[in-house]
Every structure is written in C-alpha cells, then in structure tokens.
Amino acid sequence: MVSNSQTPKSDLHSSKDYLWPHLRDLPYFRALLRAVEARFYEGIDLPSPSLDLGCGDGHFASIAFERAIDVGLDPWWQPLREAGGRGAYRGLVQAEGARMPFLDRYFACAVSNSVLEHIPHLDAVLDETARVLRPGAPFIFCVPNYRFLSGLSLGRAFDRIGWTSLGNAYRAFFNRISRHHHCDPPEVWGERLARAGFQIERWWHYFSPAALRTLEWGHYFGLPSWIVHLLTGRWMLSSAGWNLTLTKRLVQRHYDEPTAAEDGVYTFYIARRT
C-alpha cells in the first residue's frame, strides 16, 4: 500500500475548461465537484478495453474522457438510456457490479468516478472488478474520505455551541441524503483493495473544506433545480450564459484551487490489479 500521497500529473492550469460544460447541465455544487475530478484524468492512460463501473447517465464520461470508453456498466436502466444518447461509450450494459457478465481478465483498465462510496456490498464489487481486470490493469476511482462528515459546516456550528448530539444527527442526515456508505482514509482503502487483489500506486486528497461548504449548501439552494428536473428532466430552465455567469463566478475560485489539497475531503486513487 502507498503510505503517503503524491501530486497528480494533471496540471492546475489545464487548457480545457471542465467547469462550464458541467455547469450547463448540472446543479452548481455537483458541477463543481465533477469538473475538479475531470481534470485528473488528463494525465492518465486508459487502455482498451476499458470499463466504467457505475457509469450513470454518461454525462461525466462525455466531458472527462477524450475517447469513448468501451463499456459503461450500471444497474439502472433509465440512466443507461440517457448515456446511450451521449456517445461516451461503445457499449452499455445493465448489470450489478457484483455480477458482471464478462469473462475473466477481459478489461485492460477500469474507472469508477464517485460511485464506490454508495455501494453497501463493496467487497463483492471489488472482488468482481478484480476478476474482470487483467493483471497489471489500472483501476482509477475517487471517493469522499474521513474528513467529509467532520467538515460539514452545520455540524461544526452545532458542535461549537455545545449541541454535539444535534451535530451528529445532522452529519448522519447529510450522509443519508448523500447515500454514503464508505467515507474512509487511505489506510482502510489500502486494506480493502489488497483483499480484492489490488495495490494502490498513488492517491491524493482534493476538494477543500471551503469547497465542501459550497457543495453542502448547494443541496439546499439547489432545491429549485431539483424541482425543474422532476418536472422537465433537465436541471435548469436555461443553460444560456446570462443565466450561469454569476454562478460560475461564485464557484470558479474553488475550481481553481490547487489540484491536491492536504485537507481535502475527497480522495483520488490509482490502483493496479496485482
């Protein structure tokens, strides 16, 4: 296991703007996080055949990856229908991550962007991912870490005035609405991955506590977007520049943060099948 972090190969001053394409289609707090993550893949080789584990609607892949991923896999049909219209995958498969319909050692790499933290039966999914990957194949993923819950602003505010039980209740509530089952440090991920047949090569923390506050409050301020999505299937009524310029200005400073942050509340991992 790798015991300390290393700086990502991606450059903070990327020639490509990942923020604006995400803002046009997603609530601003989710767009910010996904845009930050998209930069990391610039310096990572994804050999074919490639697998996107938990591809969802394919929006992230359509922006982050320069070429189509060979297979996008997800257990839900509706997101896969959306992914089919984005052209980000050569093929789409509806299946559980713990029961993939692929031959042993079929894939040369796999990615899973902000997915693994939502899976209760994680060990089974990691075992199955190891089965379908070739020896030496990279497995790239990112997840919230152990600082996520302690960094929530409302929980910290309750703690400061002595309402610790209310702070804990708020953290449990936010974890539930975020559908998080795993917010762990690299040591835990290293042991978990080793049991499945992986070794961590590099990792780094990212997304500062200040950026987390933007994400946290975005869940509440973004309620109108949720209503629009419920009624129309889109997250906003207009993606025109006039409607998003101010929003972009507000989140740009977090997008421009250093790529790796020691106090970051998310962690990006590059592991390899042993």
**Domains, the chain, ordered by start:** 19-273 (3.40.50.150)
Closest CA to 172 of 188, 189, 152: 152
The answer to whether 95 and 54 are in contact (CB under 8 A) is no
The DSSP output letter for 14 is -
For 63-87, the pLDDT digits (tens) are 999 999 999 999 999 999 999 999 9
For 105-131, the pLDDT digits (tens) are 999 999 999 999 999 999 999 999 999
The DSSP output letter for 117 is G
pLDDT at 274 over 50: yes
The phi, psi pair for 70, rounded to 5°, reads -65, -45
Q: What is the pTM of this model?
A: 0.91
Crossing angle of helices 186-196 and 122-132, in 10° steps, is 50
Kindly calculate the radius of gyration of the chain based on its CA atoms and give it in whole angstroms.
18
The answer to whether 109 and 51 are in contact (CB under 8 A) is yes
